[in-house]
Amino acid sequence: MDQMTRFTLMTIAATAVAALATPALAQDNPMVGGAAMYPDRTIVENAVNSADHETLVAAVKQADLVETLSGEGPFTVFAPTDAAFDRISDDSLSQLMMDQHKGQLAQILTCHVVATSAMSDAIAGMIADDGGMHPVPTVGGCTLQAKMSGGTITLTDERGRSADVTIADVRQSNGVIHVIDRVLLPAM
């Protein structure tokens, strides 16, 4: 084999490896809302691609939290789906999205954010170490209670409302997202 052929084959092989490596990054992460989630992108960069998180993304923008959740972190975000937001009345959600309620909206959203990157196995371990229930202090000043229920992490807010983690361990460059099926609220 001459040097030109060897060089051409090495170039083709390197190109093929590079092409296969990029999708593999997303394949290591669960799909969310029909979109690939890339661990080298921020929480916000990935969330905007999820068809199941349009309301959450709009609320994050309205509450001026885009820059924060695009920051270095690390963060754990318990991300309610659009279906979770649909459990709130249209009137209440419309009120929350008004400029005069931006502070309340920001508090609700930051009650879904923890200032660390916690994968589900770590959360499960903390729950086990604490005898079945683990307090989770959030950036918004709320304390969620985490427990395991048949292999599923369940979070209970300060009003006694529960949300299940439906998709766990969606790695981001600045933390992790766990998709949940209910919006959690502070005691207020």
Q: What is the mean pLDDT of each run of 10 residues along the chain (188 residues)?
A: 42 37 57 92 94 96 95 96 96 95 96 96 96 97 95 96 97 96 92
| Phi, psi (degrees; rounded to nearest 5) at 99 | -55, -40
Distance of CA 25 to the CA centre of its chain: 17
User: Residue 1's pLDDT is what?
Assistant: 53
Q: What is the pLDDT of residue 28?
A: 80
Q: What is the pLDDT of residue 27?
A: 57
- Please state the length of the chain: 188
pLDDT score of 10: 39
The reported pLDDT for the residue numbered 22 is: 39
Please state the separation of Cα 176 from the chain's center in Å. Answer: 6
pLDDT value of position 24: 41
The token pair at 75 is 């963060």
Residue type, 44: V
pTM, two decimal places: 0.85
Sequence ranges of the domains in the chain: 31-180
CATH number for region 31-180 = 2.30.180.10
